[in-house]
Amino acid sequence: MTDSHQQDQPHKCPADDSVRSKDDGSIAVATRRGFMVTAVAAAAACSGCAAAPLPAHADVPGGDCIWRNVAIRGGGFVTGIIPHPARAGLVYARTDVGGAYRRISPDSPWIPMTDWIGRNDANLSGIESLALDPTNPDIVYLAAGMYTQWWAPKGAILRSADQGKTWLQAPLPIKLGGNEPGRFSGSRLMVDPNFPARLFFGSRSDGLWGSDNGARSWRRVDSFPVIGDRDAVGLVSVVFDAASGRPGAPTPVIYVAVSTHRQNLFVSPDAGRTWKAVPGQPVGLRPNQAVLAADGRLYISYGRQPGPNSMTDGAVWCFDTRVRRWEDITPLHPSPHDQFGYGTICVDTGHPDTIMTGTFCRWAHGDTLFRSANAGKSWLPINPRQHGTWTDGGAPWIKWHHNTVSAMNWIGSLQIDPHDSNTAMYTTGCGLFTTRNLTSVDNGGKCEWIFDCRGLEETVVNKLISPPRGPHLLSTVYDIDGFRHDDLRQSPRAGMFNPSFGSNTDIDIAEHEPEFAVRVFGGRNTHGAISHDAGRSWKMFPTGIPGNGGGKVAVCAAAKSIICVPDAEVPHVTTDAGRSWRRCAGLPGGSIVLADRTHAGTFYAFGKGQSRLWVSRNGGESFTAIGNIPIGANECMSVPGLPGHLWLAGDGGLFFSINGGESFHRVAGVDQAYNLGWGKAAPGANYPALFLVGVAAGRYGFYRSDNQGKRWRRINDFSHQFFYINTICGDPRVFGRVYVGTSGRGILFGDSA
């Protein structure tokens, strides 16, 4: 193996009050003051700083706020689940963009383990693989890294010795793809069950990697014959044959599956020193997952493409390692009129003849789970038509405005509980489902599945609005439109916005008539919809916005005009609720437009990377350049009730204007400003509270100012950073309450502690 020289990196722990949260909701607080520790992530959390998880719907101090999730439940692709073989009830889950979770009992909520990941480390929130030490329930490993493109940072292996409460990091010299094709494959990262200090990791483009010291350092296994392929899916499954060895020594026999149509299964008889292709293996399809039963049968699922967006062919094969014989045990073969593949495969630990698998991307007839009690000789289908029922588990949006739950898309991971053959879980592109009466299907009955995402929040949030009256929060998100929240603790009974269009990119309200709201989205010709009842109901624009859809929207304070800016296009205005559109004169393509929250008919516009501010005083029909702004502007905010008051967030800091943008003044102490929002003024104050995501006094965080930016109070800590923040706003009716929209952890709200 070639030494990568990548080991734990120390960094200086900033002075900070860290909070260690416990699974029972109790809190232990420890104050740290500037000592050397081992890094969890650069500029993020420290091993000494108790990188605390945020128990769902529990009150957890984080800086100056108590942080909770605004309840949606699920909403993203849970790419893997692993129950611990040595401790009943302990289950871990990984996601493509939302970090990793654990659950300690069947009735407890999911607990996020990676909320310490911040803006600079958001790449680590895409979890490529998750591995457990089968001999120690407290040890868990994450292969973290979201993308392999040229612009993406390198990945890392994270390890925890306390079930994910704190983490140590070993940086890798390679990139990982937790949100790329084949992301449900696996497991790529595995612990040797006989010699737990040894791990192997299958990369996408850089071959097989190994560690002999509990993931503290990593080396490439040069003897492995495959480095990667042009599709950058690479080595998808590592399987140790524990029975080939004995405890205390490295396991001799190891299998590695590679996502390729050519020879794709390799075996080592000598603990990874040499490798060869397994004779007689099927070719022409890509392996997705592999699992070895206690009786020596190796089961493998295959697909034509790596998924998850498409898979037009597939199969399930069994390799009996005792007699070295291959057998096609595919439950249902695809056809030209019914194309699909097989994504997941699992075995009942206590009954090695009992296996389950699931179709993938079966768009024609809907995906199906299959169960066999005789090693694949015969199969029972489980779907909404046969042997199964589904309920929403307190997340009505999962019905997608139908009478039944949408339960069978992107079946990425399936596990039978190793401690209870009657319990199983499977994951989808929207979350995960659990049944506790699985074996009823063996006698002709139905198993009951529940959407099991309490505490697991994985939406990517684009915009948040907290109106001055009506619902506390309106949101737009990727994939599942957005929500009206009257109760922050409950997933809305009405589900997502209806009609549903998928990824909604922006939302705005008329400040003087906040029941009037407009949202925009991609994928349809109209690209937008209007609500007259604060998001309860929506009506599509009668005619389409010129351009590619999506983008941004700004609504006049008096609800008389709407300006939409499709991605990279010239802004267009309508004064007749979308029946006709006119180009906004005087603005270049890609301009960012906002409405003055006080003066009806006044709009402002700026462009990222440009140094000009434009204003319109005729409802957006035409704009005139009025002044210079700092280059690198990220966001601009108009303050309700204060005409001409503008706040500008930029790479060069925070700036404000009291004359409608004719001149700006820099706010001292703010080095960088990414997102801005306003909320209810502090008692006795006459200026709204300002909320900031940025760098103040050299420290990144979330901040609140109650005196127009003269002083800032940090309202989060290094344990509560929630990845990359896309949007922030305060509540105009509740002092100190702030909402943040994340790049994969849903919506968080904080109340002053």
The residues annotated as belonging to the active site are: 96, 479
d(CA 157, CA 161): 13
* 152 CB-contact burial (10 Å; exposed 0-12 / middle 13-18 / buried 19+): middle
Q: Is the dihedral of CA 52, 58, 61, 64 positive or negative?
A: positive
User: CA-CA distance, 642 to 708, in Å (whole number)?
Assistant: 12
Q: Measured between alpha carbons, how far is 451 from 324 in angstroms, rounded to an integer?
A: 40
Q: How many whole angstroms separate alpha carbon 336 and alpha carbon 109?
A: 43
d(CA 630, CA 637): 15
674 within 8 A of 649, measured Cβ to Cβ: yes
Amino acid symbol at 447? C
The whole-angstrom separation of Cα 511 and Cα 639 is 10
Using only C-alpha atoms, what is the Rg of the chain? 27
Where b means 16+ CB within 10 Å and e means fewer, 33-51 reads eeeebbbbbeebbbbbbbb
Torsion of the alpha carbons at 390, 393, 398 and 401, rounded to the nearest 10:
90
The whole-angstrom separation of Cα 83 and Cα 441 is: 22
Burial 645-672 (b: 16+ CB within 10 A, else e): bbbbbbbbbbbbbbebbeebeebebbeb
Q: Are strands 388-391 and 447-451 parallel, antiparallel or unpaired?
A: parallel
CA distance 33 to 365: 60
Tally: H helices and E strands in the chain: 0, 62
> Locate tokens 């003055």: which residue?
596
Cβ within 8 Å of residue 187, ≥6 positions away: 80, 82, 129, 130, 131, 237, 238
Q: What is the spatial distance between Cα 106 and Cα 610, in angstroms, rounded to a whole number?
A: 53
List CB contacts of 710: < 8 A, sequence separation 6 or more. Answer: none
